[in-house]
């Protein structure tokens, strides 16, 4: 089973790299395609929208298809999308290729999470999900910096060719290591969408969106914070981000262990931890060593929420786990976009960069309050049923 999870992690690594590596290649892409940096930045927005809109559609469309064939098909779409990116003759073609690539993102992580959880005993489900998402965290630690370096050395198109090769490796790994017949339950379209009427499902999705919004409201501007507030050199920023990435990787595994033992206490505890770390960062950002330690801890607590929230939505959307899990990915990406927008508004209003983490803390408080309300409803409903 670990090899099956490794196959999913390899695909997650490739998908994560292709989503985020464009951030480091914006100048090269803009210069080559003769567009402005802001227009090149819309390639990130276009990808996010592709995840938000395409994921649920594909999840519903493939609800009754064999799981292994579905995951393989989505990985093939990912490969083709990256090849189209590498061959794109102009900006419009590259945007279309990015959207095509993004279509498989949400559905792959959504369905892959359900498959990963089903490959292990019930008390190991969150750890299995976390192992799959380790591919995504390693994409930020290794894939993005290596892909950026390759693109700067050999041209931005070479990066997309390299990611396509990773996709081929992921296909081979899935063919060899994923079980041929992965258990699944047949469902109907009405049942799939009925899950959206459940309050507990909507609250779980809201927590995912809020947690992601809190993260990206600050992380989007982490480079200028480190440069202008902490006083770190450009090379030092890379090292600091590496520390953050290591925290993400460790946090994913820690969150998986906590979720398998005590899901709801872990949800509240990690959400509160994010609030405290964000508040602390507003103070430690002024000095290199304290800022580095805070970044490492921030990465741990922020990404520990990922397997926790993913398992929560799988449990609460048990009638339509594939759609529910995929919608969770859409919520994460919606939070990415909302966080960057909110952070931009705060910075644009004249707030000092050192105080931006307070915005992340305030948004994380909303995550905590939503989690407490969710637990209150769960206990009230259980009391009513018991009565």
What pLDDT sits at residue 384?
A: 61
**Residue 24 confidence (pLDDT):** 72
| Domains with residue ranges and CATH for the chain | 1-186 (1.20.1250.20), 188-387 (1.20.1250.20)
3-state secondary structure the chain: CHHHHHHHHHHHHHHHHHHHHHHHHHHHHHHHHCCCHHHHHHHHHHHHHHHHHHHHHHHHHCCCCCHHHHHHHHHHHHHHHHHHHHHCCCHHHHHHHHHHHHHHHHHHHHHHHHHHHHCCCHHHHHHHHHHHHHHHHHHHHHHHHHHHHHHHHHCHHHHHHHHHHHHHHHHHHHHHHCCCCCCCCCCCHHHHHHHHHCHHHHHHHHHHHHHHHHHHHHHCCHHHHHHHHHCCCHHHHHHHHHHHHHHHHHHHHHHHHHHHHCHHHHHHHHHHHHHHHHHHHHHHCCCHHHHHHHHHHHHHHHHHHHHHHHHHHHHHCCCCHHHHHHHHHHHHHHHHHHHHHHHHHHHHCCCCHHHHHHHHHHHHHHHHHHHHHHHHHHHHHHHHHHC
Question: Do 348 and 199 meet the contact criterion of CB atoms below 8 Å apart?
Answer: no
- Per the CB < 8 A criterion, the answer to whether 41 and 161 are in contact is no
pLDDT of residue 53: 84
What is the Cα 89 distance to its own chain's centre?
A: 29
Task: Please give the pLDDT value at position 383.
Answer: 65
Length of the chain: 387
Q: For tokens 């805070």, name the residue.
A: 294
Whether 333 and 52 have beta carbons less than 8 Å apart is answered as yes
Each residue's pLDDT, cut to its tens digit, for the chain (387 residues) gives 578 999 999 999 999 888 878 877 878 888 999 988 778 878 877 888 888 888 888 888 887 888 899 999 999 999 999 999 999 999 999 999 999 999 888 889 888 988 998 888 888 888 888 888 888 888 877 887 888 888 888 999 999 999 999 999 999 999 999 998 887 766 666 666 777 778 888 999 999 999 999 998 888 788 788 888 999 887 788 788 888 888 988 898 899 888 888 889 999 999 999 999 999 999 999 999 999 999 999 999 999 998 999 889 888 887 777 788 888 888 988 888 888 888 888 888 888 989 999 999 999 999 999 999 999 998 887 766 554
Q: What percent of the chain has pLDDT over 90?
A: 41
The pLDDT of residue 8 is 92
pTM for the complete prediction?
A: 0.82
């Amino acid at each position: 089973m670990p090899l099956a999870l490794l196959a999913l992690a390899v695909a997650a690594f490739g998908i994560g790299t292709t989503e985020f590596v464009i951030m480091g290649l914006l100048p090269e892409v803009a210069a080559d395609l003769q567009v402005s940096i802001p227009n090149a930045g819309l390639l990130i927005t276009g990808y996010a929208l592709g995840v938000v809109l395409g994921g649920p559609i594909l999840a519903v469309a493939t609800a009754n298809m064999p799981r292994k064939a579905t995951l393989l098909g989505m990985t093939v779409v990912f490969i083709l999308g990256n090849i189209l990116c590498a061959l794109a003759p102009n900006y419009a073609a590259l945007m279309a290729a990015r959207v095509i690539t993004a279509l498989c993102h949400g559905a792959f992580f959504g369905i892959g999470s359900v498959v990963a959880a089903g490959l292990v005993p019930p008390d190991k489900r969150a750890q299995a999900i976390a192992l799959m998402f380790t591919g995504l965290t390693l994409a930020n630690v290794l894939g993005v910096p290596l892909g950026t370096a390759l693109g700067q050395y050999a041209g931005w198109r070479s990066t997309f060719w390299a990611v396509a090769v990773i996709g081929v490796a992921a296909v081979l790994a899935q063919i060899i290591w994923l079980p041929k017949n992965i258990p699944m339950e047949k469902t109907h379209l009405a049942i799939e969408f009925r899950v959206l009427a459940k309050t507990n499902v909507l609250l779980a999705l809201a927590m995912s969106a809020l947690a992601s919004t809190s993260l990206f409201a600050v992380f989007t501007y982490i480079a200028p914070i480190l440069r202008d507030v902490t006083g770190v050199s450009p090379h030092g920023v890379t090292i600091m981000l590496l520390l953050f990435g290591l925290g993400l990787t460790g946090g994913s595994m820690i969150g998986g262990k906590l979720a398998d033992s005590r899901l709801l206490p872990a949800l509240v505890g990690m959400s509160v931890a994010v609030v405290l770390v964000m508040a602390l960062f507003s103070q430690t950002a002024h000095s290199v060593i304290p800022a580095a330690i805070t970044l490492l801890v921030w990465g741990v607590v922020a990404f520990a929420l990922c397997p926790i929230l993913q398992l929560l939505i799988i449990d609460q959307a048990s009638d339509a786990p594939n759609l529910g899990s995929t919608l969770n990915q859409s919520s994460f990406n919606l939070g990415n976009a909302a966080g960057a927008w909110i952070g931009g508004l705060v910075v644009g209003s004249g707030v000092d960069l050192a105080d931006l983490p307070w915005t992340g803390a305030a948004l994380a408080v909303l995550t905590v309050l939503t989690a407490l309300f969710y637990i209150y409803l769960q206990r009230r409903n259980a009391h009513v049923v018991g009565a």
